[in-house]
């Protein structure tokens, strides 16, 4: 009887348990730890669904006890499934989606912090960076803000394998030089250029990213080291406004504004406006920068399948052109002050640059999409400069005078523009178990220097017949001489220059009389030029289980119209077939292995080819990349850690012949090779702890000689350090009395570099220490940045010991930002 009662009680208990009603509750957040509203949640296998509220909360009630699989989906985010046990509270993190409407860079990034999840630069489609079989590094706007980065030189110190070549918009990537004066840089994935002489402000950029190695298979002729892509800020569907004022060292004043949001209730018309103003002096004598940046952007979404974007950036710059520091001949780098320049007080550099871009993307259905974009870049320059002639002044016997730098004058007006168009289709398909993302497209680009540009040059030494010429001691009787007193008090007779030499002992910067110079116009830099390229390309991204294959092929046609706009114009065409193949294998959910092989092609610069003094014509550049590595994610996707090993070879590079009598003369190298390893870490360790760090080893040398350069084999390439690295970390206190207080600290180092193929002229390595303090209270943020805390004397790059580019001494900036 007792056993029967016990069995009955147990049966009743089990039945009650089976029919017990329980709940599932939770919170959904994004990668920035912010709640996500209107996320759709469905219990698979059941007709039960709900959405999150404004705080990201959701709940399912009155569920039988057991395990359930929940699916979370929201526009712009990856759809995920998670199995949970009823009665529990769960926290869900949604990552930004790679399957967005656009396949060009026209949608604003919603992530905040040092990590970026997706990019278009690696495949021209929205692809997770971990799935791109090539190294891609980046710097986000949040890191730029925390470091108070103003220009590209401030940004690239955070990127492995990238460093400055000069003060200008002029970089080396894995030992290969690129500059803003050519169309090997990108804006929103489209080919563009800058004015080269001045680095533009970065306040209108969402991020700066670099695809390492040749990107020719996607974007046409490009540097084998890599390609820089400037991604502009795009309109967002939520209101964000901020203004900031900065004051700091060197009489710096800067004001910025960033305003975005919807223009109508349906959020089908979005806008963004970035403004920038700068008035800053410099630690360099006579140098200054006055800049205005106006960057509006507009997005129109007539349907959920169509998006139109219009972007415009205008940058007006008033400054002087800084050609660098010169030292006493035969003495060390510290023989002159890093503040010294060779300018006259009446020198000027006035520039205006604009980019106008329009793009449209349309999703015909869930598989087929079409994208078309057009970008025009225009540039105007008005220049007067006194600069070195890349040599020291001679005495009557032709021997250099150690403290006299020979100078020349340029007066230049230049107008240049480029037009770029891109159109392509993407199609998602399946063949059995293999998924495909197909891309077929065509790019066209042309760059023109129209008639009307000119350059007047004054240089050399005065002849008795009223002309000028390079000094020849054997014909000394033909030249005008004058008396000069050496630093030791001795007076000697030396050739009289057309432009007065600069005496390093006197630091004599003064206003010069421009009317007394004898000018010539024999310079090819401002000749009318026309160069165009067109590329037809096909790409497939295949996926089978854990294995992904990227295969692409581009057929490139390059056209140069030599003697453009003359009676002897000649059309010169070159062709190239450029393959690209890469593999990605997912070892685990968080670790991907990858490998890639790709070829590059780059015709020689049209101005160099058409210059009769350069020694050309020259063969085109040909390159290839072999790279492998791994890409990993940690802390629920908040932090990435990547490593790569690479080998790049390039044939037919051009370098200056270092011929003082023929400064335009070039030498063509047989082959150069760069091989090395890189490590990159970026993201968040905790919600309040951000970090970015990198290290690069790069052995970039001449490996095969050409016709006249056998002695250069084994020489490390100019401004290519073998070792470089950086670390920056920021921590913010989230609770307590000092909530909102934060601090950042970082360091970057670069080892010694050659400044030319002449191994004698080297720059020492350096290590810099930087720090920052932050305090945010409600809508106000105050930050103080301290740079080069130890006041290190260093040089970011150089061409030779007559043109050195020193870095800034200890300096500070204070920024007040109001967000509303």
List of domains in the chain: 21-96 (2.60.40.1120), 120-232 (2.170.130.10), 240-457+522-819 (2.40.170.20), 458-521 (no CATH)
Residue 224 pLDDT > 50, yes or no?
yes
- Residue 466 has a pLDDT of 93
Residue-wise pLDDT for 105-136, tens only, equals: 555 566 678 998 878 888 887 788 899 999 99
- Residue 574 has a pLDDT of 83
Residue 99 pLDDT > 60, yes or no?
no
- Residue 15 has a pLDDT of 47
- Residue 46 has a pLDDT of 80
* C-alpha closest to that of 188 among 306, 108, 97: 108
Residue-wise pLDDT for 598-652, tens only, equals: 998 877 766 666 666 777 777 778 899 999 999 999 988 889 999 999 999 998 8
CB 760 within 8 A of CB 175: no
- Residue 211 has a pLDDT of 92
- Residue 659 has a pLDDT of 66
497-535 core/surface letters (b: 16 or more CB in 10 A; e: else): bbbbbbbbeeeebeebebeebeeeeebbbbbbbbbbbbb
- Poorest-confidence range of 240-254, 479-493, 594-608? 594-608
Cα gap 209→204, rounded to integer Å: 14
Average pLDDT over residues 272-277: 97
Average pLDDT over residues 172-176: 93
- Residue 478 has a pLDDT of 97
Residue 332 pLDDT > 60, yes or no?
yes
136-175 core/surface letters (b: 16 or more CB in 10 A; e: else): bbbbbbbbbbbbbbbbbbbbbbbbbbbbbbbbbbbbbbbb
Burial class of residue 188 in the structure, from the number of CB atoms within 10 Å of its CB (0-12 exposed, 13-18 middle, 19+ buried): buried
DSSP state of 34: -
Contacts of 776 (CB under 8 A, 6+ apart): 732, 740, 742, 782
Q: Write out the H or E segment, with its range, that includes residue 10.
A: helix 2-18
Q: Peptide bond before 617: cis, by omega within 30 degrees of 0?
A: yes
Average pLDDT over residues 737-752: 96
Residue 16 pLDDT > 60, yes or no?
no
- Residue 524 has a pLDDT of 61
Cα gap 169→796, rounded to integer Å: 13
Residue 20 pLDDT > 70, yes or no?
no
- Residue 100 has a pLDDT of 46
Q: Write out the H or E segment, with its range, that includes residue 520.
A: none
Residue 13 confidence class, pLDDT cut points 50, 70, 90: very low
Residue 182 pLDDT > 70, yes or no?
no
C-alpha distances in angstroms, 392 versus 265, 405, 660? 68, 4, 10
CB 673 within 8 A of CB 664: no
- Residue 570 has a pLDDT of 80
Cα gap 318→281, rounded to integer Å: 12
Residue 103 confidence class, pLDDT cut points 50, 70, 90: very low
- Residue 102 has a pLDDT of 41
Q: Write out the H or E segment, with its range, that includes residue 8.
A: helix 2-18
Residue 452 pLDDT > 80, yes or no?
yes
Q: Write out the H or E segment, with its range, that includes residue 4.
A: helix 2-18
Residue 803 confidence class, pLDDT cut points 50, 70, 90: very high
Q: Which residue has the higher pLDDT, 372 or 15?
A: 372
- Poorest-confidence range of 68-77, 353-362, 455-464? 68-77
Residue 575 confidence class, pLDDT cut points 50, 70, 90: confident
Q: Which residue has the higher pLDDT, 387 or 108?
A: 387
Helix (H/G/I), strand (E/B), else coil: 788? coil
The tokens 């190294």 sit on which residue? 135
- Residue 3 has a pLDDT of 58
Helix (H/G/I), strand (E/B), else coil: 537? strand
- Residue 565 has a pLDDT of 81
- Residue 5 has a pLDDT of 53
Cα gap 178→165, rounded to integer Å: 9
Residue-wise pLDDT for 24-78, tens only, equals: 999 998 766 778 888 889 888 787 889 898 889 999 988 888 888 998 887 667 7
Average of per-residue pLDDT values in the chain: 89
Residue 93 pLDDT > 90, yes or no?
no
- Residue 82 has a pLDDT of 87
- Residue 660 has a pLDDT of 60
Predicted structure pTM score: 0.84
Q: Report the relative pairing of strands 226-232 and 205-212 from DSSP bridges.
A: antiparallel
Cα gap 450→97, rounded to integer Å: 44
CB 802 within 8 A of CB 403: no
Other Cβ atoms within 10 Å of 349 Cβ, number: 20
Residue-wise pLDDT for 780-793, tens only, equals: 999 999 999 999 99
- Poorest-confidence range of 60-64, 334-338, 521-525, 557-561? 521-525
Cα gap 501→395, rounded to integer Å: 12
Q: Write out the H or E segment, with its range, that includes residue 146.
A: helix 141-147
pLDDT > 70 fraction of the chain, expressed in percent and rounded: 91
Residue 383 pLDDT > 80, yes or no?
yes
The dihedral sign for the CA sequence 248, 249, 255, 258: negative
Residue 661 confidence class, pLDDT cut points 50, 70, 90: low
C-alpha distances in angstroms, 290 versus 251, 253, 276, 682? 12, 10, 11, 33
Residue 726 pLDDT > 80, yes or no?
yes
- Residue 105 has a pLDDT of 52
Residue 685 confidence class, pLDDT cut points 50, 70, 90: very high
Residue 453 pLDDT > 50, yes or no?
yes
Average pLDDT over residues 586-599: 94
């Amino acid at each position: 009887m007792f056993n029967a009662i016990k069995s009955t009680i147990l049966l009743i208990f089990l039945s009650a348990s089976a029919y017990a009603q329980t709940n599932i509750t939770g919170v959904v957040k994004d990668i920035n730890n912010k709640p996500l509203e209107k996320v759709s949640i469905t219990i698979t296998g059941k007709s039960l669904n709900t959405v999150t509220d404004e705080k990201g909360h959701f709940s399912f009630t009155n569920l039988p006890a057991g395990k359930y699989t929940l699916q979370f989906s929201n526009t712009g985010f990856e759809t995920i499934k998670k199995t949970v046990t009823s009665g529990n509270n769960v926290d869900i993190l949604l990552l930004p989606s790679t399957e967005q409407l656009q396949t060009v860079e026209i949608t604003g990034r919603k992530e905040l912090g040092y990590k970026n999840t997706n990019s278009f630069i690696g495949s021209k489609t929205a692809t997770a960076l971990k799935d791109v079989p090539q190294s891609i590094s980046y710097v986000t706007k949040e890191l730029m803000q925390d470091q108070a980065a103003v220009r590209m030189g401030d940004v690239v110190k955070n990127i492995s394998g990238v460093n400055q070549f000069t003060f200008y918009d002029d970089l080396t990537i894995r030992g290969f030089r690129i500059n803003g004066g050519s169309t090997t840089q990108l804006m929103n994935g489209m080919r563009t250029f800058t004015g080269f002489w001045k680095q533009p402000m970065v306040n209108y950029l969402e991020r700066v990213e670099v695809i390492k190695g040749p990107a020719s298979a996607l974007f046409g002729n490009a540097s084998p080291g890599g390609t820089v892509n400037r991604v502009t800020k795009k309109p967002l569907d939520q209101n964000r406004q901020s203004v900031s004022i900065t004051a700091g060292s060197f009489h710096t004043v800067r004001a910025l504004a960033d305003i975005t949001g919807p223009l109508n209730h349906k959020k089908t018309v979005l806008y963004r406006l970035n403004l920038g103003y700068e008035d800053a002096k410099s630690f360099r004598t006579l140098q200054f920068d006055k800049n205005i940046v106006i960057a509006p952007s507009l997005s129109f979404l007539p349907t959920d399948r169509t998006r139109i974007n219009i972007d415009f950036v205008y940058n007006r710059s008033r400054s002087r052109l800084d050609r660098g520091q010169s030292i006493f001949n035969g003495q060390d780098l510290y023989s002159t002050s890093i503040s010294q320049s060779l300018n006259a007080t009446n020198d000027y550099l006035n520039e205006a640059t604009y980019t106008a871009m329009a793009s449209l993307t349309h999703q015909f259905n869930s598989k087929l999409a079409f994208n078309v974009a057009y970008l025009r870049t225009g540039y105007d320059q008005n220049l007067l400069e006194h600069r070195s002639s890349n040599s020291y002044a001679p005495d009557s016997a032709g021997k250099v005078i150690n403290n006299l730098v020979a100078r020349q004058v340029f007066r230049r007006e230049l107008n240049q523009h480029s037009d770029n168009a891109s159109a392509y289709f993407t199609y998602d398909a399946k063949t059995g178990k293999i998924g495909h993302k197909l891309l077929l497209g065509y790019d066209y680009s042309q760059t023109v220097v129209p008639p009307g540009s000119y350059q007047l040059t004054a240089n050399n030494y005065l002849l008795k017949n009223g002309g000028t010429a390079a000094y020849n001691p054997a014909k000394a009787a033909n030249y005008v001489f004058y008396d000069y007193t050496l630093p030791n008090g001795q007076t000697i007779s030396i050739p009289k220059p057309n432009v007065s030499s600069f005496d390093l002992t006197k630091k004599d910067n003064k206003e010069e009389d421009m009317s007394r110079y004898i000018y010539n116009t024999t310079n090819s830099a401002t000749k009318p030029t026309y160069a165009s390229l067109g590329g037809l390309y096909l790409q497939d991204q295949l996926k089978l289980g854990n294995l992904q294959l990227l295969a692409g092929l581009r057929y490139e046609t390059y056209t140069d119209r030599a003697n453009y706009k003359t009676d002897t114009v000649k059309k010169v065409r070159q062709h190239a077939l450029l393959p690209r193949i890469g593999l990605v294998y997912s070892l685990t959910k968080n670790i991907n292995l990858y490998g890639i092989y790709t070829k590059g092609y780059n015709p020689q610069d049209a101005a160099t080819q058409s210059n009769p003094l350069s020694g050309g014509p020259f063969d085109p550049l040909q390159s290839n990349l072999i790279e492998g590595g791994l890409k990993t994610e940690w802390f629920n996707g908040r932090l990435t850690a990547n490593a790569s090993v690479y080998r790049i070879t390039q044939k037919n590079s051009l370098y200056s012949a270092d011929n003082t009598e023929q400064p335009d003369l070039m030498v063509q190298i047989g082959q150069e090779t760069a091989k090395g390893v890189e490590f990159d870490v970026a993201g968040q360790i905790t919600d309040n702890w951000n970090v970015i760090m990198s290290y690069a080893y790069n052995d970039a040398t001449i490996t095969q000689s050409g016709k006249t350069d056998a002695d250069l084999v084994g020489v490390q390439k100019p401004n290519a350090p073998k070792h470089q690295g950086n670390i920056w970390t920021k921590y913010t206190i989230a609770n307590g009395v000092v909530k909102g207080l934060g601090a950042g600290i970082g360091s970057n180092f670069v080892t010694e570099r050659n400044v030319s193929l002449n191994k004698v002229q080297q720059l020492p390595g350096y290590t810099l220490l930087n720090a920052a303090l932050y305090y945010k209270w409600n809508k106000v943020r105050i930050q103080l940045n301290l740079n080069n805390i130890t006041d290190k004397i260093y040089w970011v790059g150089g061409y030779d010991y007559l043109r050195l580019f020193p870095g800034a001494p200890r300096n500070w900036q204070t920024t007040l930002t109001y967000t509303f």
